[in-house]
Amino acid sequence: MPGFNLAEINEAIAAAIPERECIVYRDRRISWQEFTTRTRQLGNFLRSRGLGCHQERATLQNFESGQDHLGIYLYNGNEYLEGMIGAYKARVAPFNVNYRYVEDELVYLLNDADCRALIYHARFAPTLQKIRGDLPHLEVLLQVADESGHGLLPGAVDYEDAVRESSPERPPVEWSSDDLYILYTGGTTGMPKGVLWRQEDIFFGALGGALPGGMKHESIGSIVEMAKASSMRALPAPPFMHGAAHWMAFTCFHQGGTVIVQNDPGHLDPHDIWSIIEREKIGFLTIVGDAFGRPLLDHLGKQTYDLSSLTILLSGGAILTPALKQEFLDKIPHLMIIDGFGASETGGQGSQITMKGMPASTGSFKMNEQTIVLTHDLSAQVAPGSDESGWLARSGHVPLGYFKDAEKTAKTFPVVNGARYAVPGDHAKIGADGAIVVLGRGSVSINSGGEKIYPEEVEKALKHHPSVYDAVVVGTPNPRFGQQVTAVVQARAGEVPGKEELTEFCANHVARYKLPKAIIYVDEMVRSPSGKADYRWAKKIAFEALGIKE
């Protein structure tokens, strides 16, 4: 089988369907020909600044990169997807930057990624200006104009100028299936980790290379033939900075489809989304669980839209509860709801389909052939129907490892009986019918509206306050977001800070979506003999204080 590279695939599809719409964003309708030209121009600009690949994969270890890295610090828009593919055409590896991060978090992320170039919206220029001196690797700044009106930072180049003034010819480099795709995610310690994928592996793992029935594309020619026959129109509503959203965008691209972006990607506007689906005849909508589903459904009760084109609703990254699935089907009876399951370290692993007349449920998935459950000691597979729990694992097209982290790479991607697996930490059981029930992440991470929040970083922020003696953070149920951040706090004697004061204090250290929604004070914190947080105890205290039954 020949190698697959995302830049090469883009070029081949564009050559076959040059006039078809590729991206629709606000008043811009960008054809496949224009999109591939713009990505070539961006790639040539990056090369003109000395960026590219400096060491081939064969000479590197799995946790190393031989390419320069480009951060993408943007809201959704054509520039985000152009930034990714334009970087690939220069053999530069782009990575996602969470635009909700505050200064300390950005400094850590950009330095951990060895970020040499950054594409960012002008609204983020003041934040970048404050931390510029703390980013020794950063050399190239590309600023995307927006409604903020902020001028160019010193040394920055306007994004449109860079594209317009660069060559539209195909960059003179040899693309490789080994070129990197990087997705930053949180680690069990609470700090972001860069997951390194070969482009061929992520194509088959999450970007449309795998076909129904266990089949997969055998050549770029077969991708092109499918693209020529496609009429897919998709709206990935979540931020592209999360894998689920740009995975959907790339899957649509690889079917020759059209990606539509909502008019105001900075926040969830249900009317915006439903009206765009009606106007653009969108067939495929991607959301993140109840956090998106609840507001979208609430708005459907207030206004009527022609949603006859919408056939598939894909939810991933957080739970879409059975009640909301049923409500979607009551309002849009022809809809097929797909619960997708996967992770940054595994790609897409499985799904659950719900249609009208079927009982709505969640948590049980039909997985692909590469996904199994391993015993807790990683010595063998768990037998279907055994009622034994184990670690959810995937083999085949899996990542190389975590950037600059040899230890965690070895732990998360072990070799078992001669096969290399990705084992990111989900507990699961496998039924007699082969369906896998996901029991939950083995770590204590909190999933709030699709955002993974790690207790340690919130605890650290809380304990910065002079009146806080100790703090443990847990996730508790939230009707809209699935989970919320709840803090159990031991204050210093006679110094109990107000809850609002403490919350706003934390906002100086972590993004607002990570702030505690509830704070519970205790006289004394319970920890293990080794000094580790007793999360089971803290969760029990939180549930009792909030009147929640476990």
In this model, does residue 220 exceed pLDDT 60?
A: yes
Cα–Cα distance list, 199 to 271, 397, 398 (Å): 36, 10, 11
In eight-state DSSP terms, residue 170 is P
Residue 89 in any domain: the answer is yes
Structure tokens belonging to residue 399 = 């990542």
532 CB contacts (<8 Å, ≥6 apart)?
A: none
Is the pLDDT higher at 459 or at 336? 336
> Within this chain, do residues 100 and 157 fall inside the same structural domain, yes or no?
yes
Is the pLDDT higher at 54 or at 360? 54
pLDDT band of 160, cuts 50, 70, 90: very high
Cα–Cα distance list, 464 to 81, 235, 333, 486 (Å): 38, 41, 51, 17
> Within this chain, do residues 425 and 460 fall inside the same structural domain, yes or no?
no
pLDDT band of 536, cuts 50, 70, 90: confident
Is the pLDDT higher at 454 or at 157? 157
> Within this chain, do residues 430 and 463 fall inside the same structural domain, yes or no?
no
498 CB contacts (<8 Å, ≥6 apart)?
A: none
> What's the total number of domains in the chain?
3
Task: Give the least confident one: 143-157, 204-218, 253-267, 496-510.
Answer: 204-218
Task: Give the least confident one: 343-357, 442-456, 499-513.
Answer: 442-456
Q: Which domain holds residue 209?
A: 28-220
> Within this chain, do residues 479 and 387 fall inside the same structural domain, yes or no?
no
| SS3 label, residue 397 | coil
CA 312 – CA 355 distance, rounded (Å): 10
pLDDT band of 187, cuts 50, 70, 90: very low
Cα–Cα distance list, 288 to 202, 242, 314 (Å): 21, 10, 8
pLDDT value for 351: 87
Contact 349, 341 (CB under 8 A): yes
Section 422-449 average pLDDT:
82
> Within this chain, do residues 212 and 176 fall inside the same structural domain, yes or no?
yes
> Within this chain, do residues 146 and 214 fall inside the same structural domain, yes or no?
yes
Average pLDDT, whole number, for the chain? Answer: 92
Percent above pLDDT 90 for the chain: 70
Residue 227 in any domain: the answer is no
In this model, does residue 441 exceed pLDDT 70?
A: no
Over the stretch 230-268, which tens digit does the pLDDT of each residue have?
889 999 999 999 898 999 999 999 999 999 999 999 888
pLDDT band of 352, cuts 50, 70, 90: confident
> Within this chain, do residues 420 and 460 fall inside the same structural domain, yes or no?
no
> Within this chain, do residues 510 and 527 fall inside the same structural domain, yes or no?
yes
CA 77 – CA 81 distance, rounded (Å): 7
Give the CATH number of the domain where residue 403 resides.
2.30.38.10
> Within this chain, do residues 136 and 198 fall inside the same structural domain, yes or no?
yes
Vertex 292, ends 288 and 295: CA angle to 5°? 170
Give the CATH number of the domain where residue 62 resides.
3.40.50.980
**E-strand spans in 162-277?**
180-186, 192-198, 233-236, 258-261
Section 446-474 average pLDDT:
87
CA 84 – CA 180 distance, rounded (Å): 11
pLDDT band of 456, cuts 50, 70, 90: confident
Is the pLDDT higher at 37 or at 479? 37
pLDDT value for 111: 98
What's the alpha-carbon Rg for the chain, to the nearest Å?
23
Residue 5 in any domain: the answer is no
> Within this chain, do residues 396 and 475 fall inside the same structural domain, yes or no?
no
Residue 406 φ/ψ, nearest 5 degrees: -65, -40
pTM of full prediction above 0.75: yes
Over the stretch 101-131, which tens digit does the pLDDT of each residue have?
889 989 999 999 999 999 999 999 999 999 9
Residue 96 in any domain: the answer is yes
Section 452-460 average pLDDT:
82
28 - beta bridge partners?
25
> Within this chain, do residues 385 and 453 fall inside the same structural domain, yes or no?
no
> Within this chain, do residues 402 and 466 fall inside the same structural domain, yes or no?
no
Section 438-451 average pLDDT:
78
In eight-state DSSP terms, residue 440 is E
Residue 521 in any domain: the answer is yes
pLDDT value for 286: 96
Contact 9, 251 (CB under 8 A): no
